[in-house]
Amino acid sequence: MAGRAPRALVSVSDKTGVEELARGLVALGYEVVSTGNTLRALRAAGVEATAVSDVTGFPEVLGGRVKSLHPAIHGGVLALRTPEHLAELEAHGIVPIDVVVCNLYPFRETVAREGVSDAEAMEQVDIGGPAMIRAAAKNHAHVTVVVDPADYGTVLAELRDGITPERRRELARKAFAHTAAYDAAIVAYLSRGEDLPERLTLPLERAQELRYGENPHQVGARYRLVGESSVWDGAVLHAGPPLSYLNVFDAEAAWRLAHELPATACVIVKHANACGAAVAEDLVTAYERAFEADPRSAFGGVVALPGVVTRELAERIAANPKADVLIAAGYDEEALALLTAKRRSTRLLTMAPPGPRALDLRVVDGGYLVQRPDALEGRSGWRIVTSRAPTEAEWRDLEVAYTVCARTSSNAIVLVKDGVALGIGAGQQSRVDAVEIAAKKAAGRARGGACASDAFFPFRDGLDAAAAAGVTAVVQPGGSVRDEEIVAAAEEHGMAMVFTGHRHFRH
């Protein structure tokens, strides 16, 4: 086969840039072989291309389901460039294929459409494409495989100058990742409706290199599911240093909690737990109240404001000890200029509202713990268990306390007055310790307010400590063998108490 023109097989679902690529291949002396709609698009664009059916001597059949599954194609892709393999190809009239450009049917996009049928979904399961990609990737020592239109320009230049074995290996790795993610999407579709599928396949790609990991001596990165995006992909870092692992982790916690509270809320998070949270009539007031709840802990924390930061609000933020991260829905021009000038080490982020999470995962030896995310039930399902019902003001504080408490590390107690989380006791082994820490932080400011507990009170000492802090209403799951004793203690203190029926541990 000496002196033959190199051959490239081009068959793509996503036709972005394919005409320019094919022209470039022809200009480099390649014979371009193509299939179906790709062939028609190339010929319509004036690109010379050979039909796969002319190579195989067999027409495309079954409505295009079978096109490239033929020894004349796969033999050309899989052949080693050894004298034995080349002689065998020549004996059978098969021409080696040196470049394979292929991407797959839009399965993920199809099943994302509302009302798609199983038949429509299965029709988008590509067979020939993955076979060609995997064959080319297996034989990357001799074949260049390209699955991403973003690589077309660089690959053309590399083919012109002499593509290296290392680069072909890199492209092969990308190709195997492409088919793996495709198969994972099919598995996920066929597992839909199952709370926890028997098989869980999560193809991830690195989306963002981080400044460092949990500590400066650790490397860290943010990964995302292949084919999906999140608010982090659209986040804009206006000013400040690059994000670290903990910046992202804490910011995620703050941003989600801020969007579970009413719109004019502010949340300040330190080490994944709120140290201040407030709901007010406007963002300026909400920020001031959240900051004043625990100014010492707010230093170096994450401030989340699900609205637009104005100059007035920026001035208040700049006057206080610095935050590591400030997240907002937006900034007006003056606010951004002021914060950029006065808070150079604060990362200023704009983000869209967070989306729902499908699963929560934690690493354990040899695998993961997996669960559905903890959802917060509404007040309509709560049950008043004392003779006194909460007042409207207490109800509002109970809802804020409950929401913040559910997103605080266990054991957790949150004390709220007038929409402000004034005392937060987090991550304690003893519930009464959590109450005492929350009461100490509230420093008498929670009198007449509400207390939330993420799990039931096992003994009345925790409730007594809450009463000593001055709260007059309590929300807790209930479910203890001592519930009657706890309710009786609430009656003694003149408290209103409601049971939610749902524990919200967070570890």
Secondary structure class of 68 (helix, strand, coil)? coil
User: Do 23 and 162 share a domain, yes or no?
Assistant: yes
For 473, the domain range is 379-499
Judgement on whether residues 337 and 257 belong to the same structural domain of the protein: yes
Burial 31-49 (b: 16+ CB within 10 A, else e): bbbbbbebbebbeeeebeb
Q: Do 179 and 252 share a structural domain?
A: no
Distance CA 383, CA 478 (A): 10
Whether residue 371 is contained in a domain is answered as: no
pLDDT in tens, the chain (507 residues): 555 789 999 999 889 999 999 999 999 999 999 988 898 999 999 988 888 888 887 777 777 777 777 888 888 899 988 889 988 888 898 899 999 999 888 888 888 888 888 888 888 888 888 999 999 999 999 999 999 999 999 999 999 998 999 999 999 999 999 999 999 989 988 888 888 888 888 889 999 999 999 999 999 999 999 888 899 999 999 999 999 999 999 999 999 999 999 989 999 999 999 999 999 999 999 999 999 999 999 999 999 999 999 999 999 999 999 999 999 999 999 999 999 999 999 999 999 999 988 889 999 999 999 999 999 988 888 999 999 999 999 999 999 999 999 999 999 999 999 999 999 999 999 999 999 999 999 999 999 999 999 999 999 999 999 999 999 999 999 999 999 999 999 999 999 999 999 999 998
Give kind and range of the element (H or E) at residue 354: none
Asked if 304 and 386 sit in the same domain, the reply is: no
Chain-centroid distance of CA 56 in Å reads 44
Q: Are 97 and 143 in contact (CB under 8 A)?
A: yes
The reply to whether 128 and 38 lie within a common domain is yes
What is the chain's Cα-based Rg? 30
**Any domain includes 107:** yes
8 A C-beta contact, residue 49 and residue 43: yes
- Give how many domains the chain has, as a whole number: 3
DSSP state of 280: -
Distance CA 347, CA 255 (A): 14
Please spell the DSSP secondary structure of 237-271, one letter per residue: EEESSPP-HHHHHHHHHHHHHHHHS-SSEEEEEET
Number of H helices, E strands in the chain: 20, 21
| In contact, 121 and 108? CB cutoff 8 Å | no
Instruction: Give dist(CA 147, CA 164) in Å, integer.
Output: 18
CA-CA distance, 451 to 438, in Å (whole number)?
A: 10
Name the residues annotated as catalytic. Answer: 138, 271
Alpha helix stretches (DSSP H) within 320-423 = 333-342, 392-406
What are the backbone dihedrals phi and psi of residue 325, each rounded to the nearest 5 degrees, phi first?
-140, 135
DSSP assignment of 434-491, as one string?
A: HHHHHHHHHTTTTTT-EEEESS--SSHHHHHHHHHTT--EEEE----TTHHHHHHHHH
Pair (416, 326) in one structural domain: no
CATH of the domain at 133: 3.40.50.1380
CB-facing half-sphere around the CA of 495: CA atoms within 13 A: 30
Q: Do 344 and 461 fall into the same domain?
A: no
